[in-house]
């Protein structure tokens, strides 16, 4: 398997994680600029109050970025209109050993980008984890997260998320916290469970792309693996999205339910509606169990008004549908409540 090429629209210098802080802040606009040779994390560390903006100029920044919960209402954006121009990338996996010898990173710890910050806005850049299984046959913990997101009102627009297994970890800060996330016009690619977690997340007009794995078995992977808390009435909502594939027809499932061993009360929830499903989706059996003890049929999996070859209903029991009345409940407005990011445009 070849290492993914991260296309950038400008020639950039690799930024080391220990590089010097970003350029001087404009005190009038509370803006920090990050340029090749700087580190994004250094700019995050320099944030001294709510409502700051970090502008990342075109280039490739090889580092991990962690935005803590006390950095409120931060905007992180690429300086150009094309998210391919600005890339934040690293290559840790679940089973990668930490340099200090304290063990491995684990799934969440493998993330290139981590945020627990409420009110976060990210737009116009690429977040990637380019760790590859083929390069590390000795590692069995192959989850390699691009972004691990918690924190209420987390918003991503025109962001590209690139990885293989567990690309986007859309989670919550705690089991009893129903943190809301909104993804508009984003591109997410991966293979196994590459959009997963217990967050209340809306994917609005996003492009989800399944990769072709060098394996002999089917399915090659699943797009979604929600782990919604039982008390949370809403989990993942994909609306007006499209699902494409680099694999052969029928090689992928839409979803499987994730009931973590440390959280066996989970009741995964996923609604896919008004979405185009390409031929890479197994139309006959689009869902599968992760564990036999938690069959997908007992979960909150529903579809509505989807189109495309992967949406053809040939076995109705395999394609649970919302009624018209139920569909009126599963909207951006109901999932996000008093927070309406979809009414704003940049």
Instruction: State yes or no: is 214 an active-site residue.
Output: no
The β-bridge partners of 307 are: 276
State the average pLDDT for the chain. 93
87-140 pLDDT, tens per residue? 999 999 999 999 999 999 999 999 999 999 999 999 999 999 999 999 999 999
**Continuous segment of H or E residues that includes residue 324:** helix 324-327
Q: Which of 166, 171, 191, 282 is labelled catalytic? A: 166
Q: Output the pLDDT for position 28.
A: 42
Summarised one tens digit per residue, pLDDT across range 277-305 is 999 999 999 999 999 999 999 999 999 99
Determine whether 193 is an active site residue. yes
φ and ψ at 303, to 5 degrees?
-130, 165
18-27, 156-165, 253-262: least confidently modelled range:
18-27
The answer on pLDDT for 15 being more than 60 is no
At residue 3 the predicted structure's pLDDT band, cuts being 50, 70 and 90, is very low
In this prediction, residues 44-53 reach a mean pLDDT of 96
Under the banding of pLDDT at 50, 70 and 90, the label for residue 344 is: confident
Q: Is the CB of residue 58 less than 8 Å from the CB of residue 82?
A: no
Binned at pLDDT 50, 70 and 90, residue 142 comes out as: very high
Q: Could you say which of 171, 193, 204, 282 is catalytic?
A: 193
- Tell how far CA 202 is from the center of its chain: 11
| pLDDT for the residue numbered 29 | 55
Q: What is the pLDDT of residues 58-85, one digit of tens each?
A: 999 999 999 999 999 999 999 999 999 9
Instruction: Please list, residue by residue across 133-165, b when 16 or more beta carbons sit within 10 angstroms of its beta carbon and e when fewer do.
Output: beebeebebbbbbbbbbbbbbbbbbbbbbbbbb
pLDDT > 90: what percent of the chain? Answer: 90
Q: Kindly tell me if the per-residue pLDDT of 189 is higher than 50.
A: yes
Q: Give the pLDDT mean for 153-176.
A: 97
The backbone torsions φ and ψ at residue 108, rounded to the nearest 5 degrees and listed phi first, read -60, -40
Q: What single DSSP character describes residue 2?
A: P
pLDDT in tens, 232-243: 999 999 999 999
């Amino acid at each position: 398997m070849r290492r993914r090429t991260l296309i950038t629209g400008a020639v950039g210098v690799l930024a080391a994680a220990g590089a010097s802080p970003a350029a001087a802040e404009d005190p009038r606009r509370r803006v920090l600029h990050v340029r090749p040779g700087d580190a994004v994390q250094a700019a995050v560390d320099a944030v001294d109050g709510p409502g700051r903006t970090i502008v990342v100029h075109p280039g490739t920044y090889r580092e991990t970025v962690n935005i803590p919960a006390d950095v409120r209402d931060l905007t992180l954006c690429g300086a150009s209109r094309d998210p391919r121009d600005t890339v934040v990338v690293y290559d840790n996996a679940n089973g990668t050993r930490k340099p200090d010898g304290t063990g491995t990173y684990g799934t969440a710890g493998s993330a290139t980008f981590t945020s627990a910050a409420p009110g976060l806005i990210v737009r116009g850049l690429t977040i990637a984890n380019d760790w590859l299984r083929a390069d590390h046959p000795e590692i069995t913990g192959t989850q390699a997260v691009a972004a691990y997101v918690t924190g209420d009102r987390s918003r991503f627009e025109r962001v590209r998320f690139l990885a293989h297994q567990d690309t986007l970890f859309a989670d919550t800060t705690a089991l009893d916290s129903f943190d809301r996330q909104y993804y508009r016009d984003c591109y997410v690619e991966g293979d196994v469970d590459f959009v997963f977690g217990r967050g209340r997340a809306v994917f609005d007009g996003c492009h989800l792309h399944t990769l072709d794995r060098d394996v002999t078995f089917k399915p090659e992977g699943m797009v979604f693996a929600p782990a919604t808390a039982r008390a949370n009435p809403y989990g993942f909502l994909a609306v007006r999205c499209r699902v494409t594939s680099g694999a052969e027809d029928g090689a992928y499932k839409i979803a499987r339910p994730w009931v973590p061993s440390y959280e066996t009360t989970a009741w995964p929830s996923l609604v896919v509606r008004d979405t185009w499903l390409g031929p890479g989706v197994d139309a006959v059996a689009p869902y599968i169990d992760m564990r036999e003890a938690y069959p997908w049929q007992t979960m909150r999996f529903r579809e509505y008004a989807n189109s495309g070859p992967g949406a053809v209903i040939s076995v109705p029991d395999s394609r649970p549908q919302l009624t018209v009345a139920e569909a009126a409940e599963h909207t951006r407005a109901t999932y996000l409540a008093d927070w309406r990011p979809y009414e704003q445009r940049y």
